Structure 1
Amino acid sequence: MEAQELHRGRLIDHLQLVVRDLAASRTFYSAVFDALNVPMGGTAEDYFWADELFVSTADSVAAQGHLTGRHHLAFQAQDRAMVDAFYKAALAHGGTDNGAPGERAYHPGYYAAFVLDPDGNNIEAVFHGDAQRSAASVKITF
């Protein structure tokens, strides 16, 4: 059996969302990222990106001309207050409520909020609680 180290918070390498209205999405995600203390990485006429999220128009070369449809995406928050700030920022900048901030039954300490972005993607901010956050890495045996 092989032991591998799993680093929490880096499971996903990157995501790309293809959206109908890039300006509306840029407004929405800029506000959400500000609430989560995530800097915008870069912008151009047909895309923007932050950390491992890339958002583009359908006619961007990277999108291959197709809308991606509805997706679920969860951002990590540092604490409950950051989840609350995410929710308020999202609703104030074009998001729609899809689950107010609160405890969820996924595991003890799971505190999250859900909104739909301007294209209907289900966007979540989650704080896993102090017990989960203190486990920066775990060993897994296969």
Structure 2
Amino acid sequence: MSLGTMNHLGITLSDLKRNEEKFYAPVLGFLGYEKVEDMDEMTLWFSAAHGCSINLWQAKTKAKQPHDRYAPGFHHFAFNADSREEIDRLHALLKKIGATVLDAPAEYSYVPGYYAVFFADPDGLKYELAHIPPGAIG
């Protein structure tokens, strides 16, 4: 592995089994992750292609307030896409599973050709799938 690459991401959910079935299983499967561990309080999704895992945890307590991405803490997490078509395909999947689409696929002015879709899990955690054309940065 290379210095600075992501090893794993741990996400705590209000209802692990429900959120995984409704949202994370279809989305992570689309992104190339496979469930490799399934325990009562945690499931582990791994991508050999990415060398990274995503660990989903069952919350031990109920949240006192809804997630606020503008308070200190997690704002959003962005995954890479190889093409705009992959983003459009994920958008179709998100609509099919009834996920919250925050911003439909569009080109954004962050860098030339930046194309992304923004969406949220059942707990309101924000995610993005982004395509940045080769050579657009640097």
TM-score (norm 1): 0.71
Query: Which of these residues, 9, 19, 23, is aligned with residue 17 of structure 2?
Result: 23
Give, in whole Å, the separation in 2 of the partners of 1:47 and 1:101: 31
Asked if residue 107 in structure 1 is aligned to residue 125 in structure 2, the reply is no
Give, in whole Å, the separation in 2 of the partners of 1:6 and 1:108: 27
Q: What displacement does 1:94 show?
A: 4.2
Q: What displacement does 1:130 show?
A: 2.9
Give, in whole Å, the separation in 2 of the partners of 1:6 and 1:49: 22
Give, in whole Å, the separation in 1 of the partners of 2:54 and 2:90: 16
Q: 1:91 to 1:41 in 2, by over 3 A?
A: farther
Q: Which amino acid in 2 is paired with 1:42?
A: E
Give, in whole Å, the separation in 2 of the partners of 1:42 and 1:94: 26
- 2:9/2:53 contact within 8 Å kept: yes
Alignment of 1:29-108 (within 5 A): 29-50=24-45, 51-59=52-60, 69=67, 70=69, 71=74, 72-108=76-112
The structure showing larger relative contact order (alpha-carbon pairs under 8 Å, at least 6 residues apart) is: 1
2:49 corresponding residue in structure 1: none
Q: 1:13 to 1:128 in 2, by over 3 A?
A: same
Higher-Rg member (1/2): 1
1:62 corresponding residue in structure 2: none
- 1:112/1:125 contact within 8 Å kept: yes
Q: Which amino acid in 2 is paired with 1:89?
A: L
Paired residue secondary structure (1:130): coil
Paired residue secondary structure (2:135): helix
Q: What displacement does 1:80 show?
A: 1.2
CA-to-aligned-CA distance 1:66-102 (integer Å, 9 cap, x gap): 7594531111112111112222222332420101011
Q: 1:86 to 1:42 in 2, by over 3 A?
A: farther
CA-to-aligned-CA distance 1:35-87 (integer Å, 9 cap, x gap): 2233233322222222332111113xxxxx57594531111112111112222
Deviates more, 1:100-109 or 1:50-59: 50-59
Give, in whole Å, the separation in 1 of the partners of 2:113 and 2:98: 28
The share of aligned pairs that are identical, in percent, is 28
Q: After TM superposition, where is structure 1 displaced by more than 3 Å over at least 4 residues in a row?
A: 65-71
Structure 2's unaligned 5+ residue stretches are 46-51
